[in-house]
């Protein structure tokens, strides 16, 4: 009964399983007895992976996107310019997570934070742009004016063939942004919400974070933070971007297999 409850996801751990089984059997058992029983049946304890909260509507759209692009080859994905933004802060080594070092919902620059917009394509990373102040639709269009065209040229992406990818942030999908894309004749790929697993640039930010953590001392201010970030960004070789983009067919295959649910990416 315990194994059935655990493997079907109705119970999470041995403690929950102990409470469950003790309400069924006449001779109570302790959590360690339950753990031993689980181990004997080839189950092991693992830390749950974090993934976006996917509601039924997200799964449907996730699956639809994967099915629509299931036949795309790596050559097709080479046409896409992937974009995303990230907030950076600085802290002494060993400082624990706190309100100062996290930004749970609102992305903004200023203070101890540095927000940047970046993109990548098959030929490498595009232009890195600093976001000044609070991001809104108007500023997003200014970022596009500066960073997008420059990145297309830098990465030698042919006009008429290239596709721009962005997430579903309200600023990105605003009427002002939509008008800007229309005026500049830029094709935008519609990507479902809550789907960072099918946006390979997310893994590029992980690479950048890892490189930023190699510095022995924290930056003395936002200017030094920007200098380090720009330096590490521009050092990223095209091969790193190519390896990530080459994973797209595998990612979509996994999404279809999971019926739109979370995948390992």
| pLDDT value, residue 90 | 55
Q: Which domain holds residue 206?
A: 56-257
Q: Which of 51, 21, 49 is nearest to 34 (CA)?
A: 21
Could you list the mean pLDDT of each consecutive 10-residue stretch along the chain, which spans 265 residues? 83 86 89 89 68 78 94 97 82 44 35 84 96 86 92 94 91 94 94 86 93 91 93 97 97 94 82
Looking at the domain assignment, is residue 15 inside a domain? yes
Q: Using CB atoms within 10 Å of the CB of residue 51, give its burial: 0 to 12 exposed, 13 to 18 middle, 19+ buried.
A: middle
Looking at the domain assignment, is residue 185 inside a domain? yes
156 and 36 inside one domain: no
161 and 219 inside one domain: yes
| pLDDT value, residue 168 | 83
Residue 112 and residue 90: Cα distance in Å, rounded? 7
Looking at the domain assignment, is residue 47 inside a domain? no
| pLDDT value, residue 51 | 54
Residue 209 and residue 204: Cα distance in Å, rounded? 9
124 and 175 inside one domain: yes
35 and 77 inside one domain: no
225 and 142 inside one domain: yes
14 and 60 inside one domain: no
| pLDDT value, residue 48 | 54
Own/partner contacts of 139-144, CB < 8 Å, gap of 24 or more, are 140/171, 140/172, 140/174, 140/176, 140/177, 141/176, 141/177, 141/180, 143/117, 144/177, 144/180, 144/184
């Amino acid at each position: 009964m315990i194994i059935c409850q655990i493997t079907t996801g109705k119970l999470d751990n041995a403690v929950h399983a102990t409470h469950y089984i003790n309400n069924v059997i006449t001779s109570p058992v302790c959590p360690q007895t339950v753990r031993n029983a689980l181990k004997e049946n080839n189950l092991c304890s693992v830390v749950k992976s974090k993934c976006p909260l996917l509601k039924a509507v997200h799964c449907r759209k996730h699956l639809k996107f994967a099915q629509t692009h299931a036949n795309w080859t790596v050559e097709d994905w080479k046409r896409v310019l992937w974009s995303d933004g990230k907030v950076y802060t600085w802290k002494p080594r060993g400082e624990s997570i706190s309100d100062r070092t996290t930004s749970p919902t609102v992305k903004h620059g200023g203070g101890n934070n540095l927000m940047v917009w970046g993109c990548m394509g098959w030929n490498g990373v595009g232009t890195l742009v600093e976001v000044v102040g609070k991001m809104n639709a108007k500023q997003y269009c200014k970022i596009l004016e500066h960073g997008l065209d420059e990145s297309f040229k830098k990465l030698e992406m042919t006009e008429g063939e290239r596709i721009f990818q962005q997430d579903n942030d309200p600023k990105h999908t605003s009427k002002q942004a939509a008008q800007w894309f229309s005026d500049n004749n830029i094709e935008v790929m519609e990507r479902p919400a809550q789907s960072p697993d099918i946006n390979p640039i997310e893994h590029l930010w992980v690479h950048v974070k890892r490189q930023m953590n190699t510095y022995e001392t924290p930056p003395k201010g936002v200017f030094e933070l920007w200098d380090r970030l720009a330096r590490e960004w521009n050092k990223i070789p095209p091969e790193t971007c190519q390896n990530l983009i080459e994973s797209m067919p595998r990612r979509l295959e996994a999404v279809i297999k999971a019926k739109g649910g979370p995948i390992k990416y």
